[in-house]
Structure 1
Amino acid sequence: MTPIEQDAPLGRRDLRKQQTRAALTGAALRLCALRGFDQVTVDDISTEAGVSSRTFFNYFASKEDAVLGDHLVEVDAMRARLAVLLPTMPVLEAVRRAVLLVVAAMEADRDHWFLRMEIIQRSPQLLPRLVLSNAEAERATTEQIAAHLGVDPVAHGYPALVVAATSASFRVAATRWMAAAGALSLGALVDEAFSGLAAGLPDPD
């Protein structure tokens, strides 16, 4: 197990911050699922979570971030995982292992993820923000892989191709997981998708 895969103990202050962030996320998702995204304000979310609006903005820049997740935090976490994994294994395997750490967090927070997807499906105004966040995350990962390989991220197609293919594989696995209401293992679905990629996507038996 690599150091990035181990849970470092949190100090009391960090634990409180983590709990506050989780309370705000949970409040945003519950209220938006119940009332609709446009009918919920930052004040509503803060009150539901038992904190001030000022505290809300210490954790999230907007209501959209509270619902969709802070993509900058997620990008930083992915970069940290890949920084440990890329020097020790092929690129596709490093990305797979990094994604599986994301998957573990999603499965542990399954109820919130299902609420999030329900809200997104009912709130098309969130889609541009979601697309932009995903594009920024893919760009950052592409640049990191290119730097690791010592190639130009634009002139050389491999880094962008790996990121596009693995991102699509993850989205397909996540869609199947949510369609099954969590009855299937997201980790197993991601492994299946990545194994198909590694094998060259042969026809199924």
Structure 2
Amino acid sequence: MGMTGRRERRKLATRTAVREAALRLALRHGVENVTVEQIAAEADIALRTFFNYFPGKEEALVAAAAAGAEALIAEFRARPATESVLGALREAVLAVADRGDATGRDYVRALQLVRRSPSLVPHQLAVLAAQERALAEAVAERVGPGTAGGIYPALCAATALTALRVVMDRWLERATDPEQPPPVDVLREDVDQAIAVLAGGLDRP
């Protein structure tokens, strides 16, 4: 791999370090008590470098949720073509929530932080909008050519992500330790229930 590849890897590593530092400090001290200067110091970078990656601390904080969302869509794309759209989404959600790596762990921690910090909600909504577009594209690829731009992929992505937000919120509500999410088995039950409801349709007599 050439210079460009190395440079891209370095940039990604720096972005990850800043994101992780921001999350670590905010979980420890609260969003309102953390400054950009502290995040830069924690990540061992110059303040100027911080602003090369993020316009402010809120964007750095929700970046962990964005990375988790990207991982979710990557997992969805990797599911076998034999699985239904909702079946593939179920497996992708549980795979990310159950991941022992930094991305999976920080995704859940970022969601916990957003629940406790109203100032992060508008930034989280921007992440969700981007996630929705990316998932709609992935759904269109899965269900076949000619569906891109149609209502099904867009509606499916929006509905599924709203269901996921409800389920994750219910799951995190049950946390007894703010630093530690509840067991994934609890999440699995709610995910299964949400998928069954969506698969059955929302209409009621």
Instruction: Work out whether the TM-score is over 0.5.
Output: yes
Residues paired across the two proteins, number: 190
Partners of 1:38 and 1:60 in 2: how far apart?
17
Partners of 2:145 and 2:138 in 1: how far apart?
10
What amino acid sits opposite 2:146 in the alignment?
V
Find out whether 1:150 has 2:145 as its counterpart.
yes
Q: Deviations over 1:130-171 (max 9, x none)?
A: 1121011111111222244223444x3221222122212211
Q: Percent identity?
A: 35
Q: Deviations over 1:68-119 (max 9, x none)?
A: 1256644543443333326332222122222222222389888756753454
> Closer, same or farther in 2 for the Cα pair 1:24/1:151, shift >3 Å?
same
Partners of 1:124 and 1:24 in 2: how far apart?
21
Find out whether 1:178 has 2:172 as its counterpart.
yes
Matches of residues 19-168 of structure 1 in structure 2 within 5 Å? 24-53=18-47, 56=50, 62-70=56-64, 73-74=67-68, 76-85=70-79, 87-105=81-99, 116-117=110-111, 119-148=113-142, 149-154=144-149, 156-168=150-162
Partners of 2:59 and 2:80 in 1: how far apart?
29
| Native 8 Å contact 2:19 2:64 kept in 1 | no
Gapped runs of 5+ residues in structure 2? Answer: 1-8, 176-180
Poorly superposed stretches of 4+, deviation over 6 Å: 106-111
Between 161-170 and 97-106, the greater mean CA deviation after superposition: 97-106
Q: State the match for 1:187 in structure 2.
A: 188
Q: TM-score normalised to the size of structure 1?
A: 0.68
Between 186-195 and 172-181, the greater mean CA deviation after superposition: 186-195
Q: TM-score normalised to the size of structure 2?
A: 0.68
Q: CA deviation at 1:47?
A: 1.8
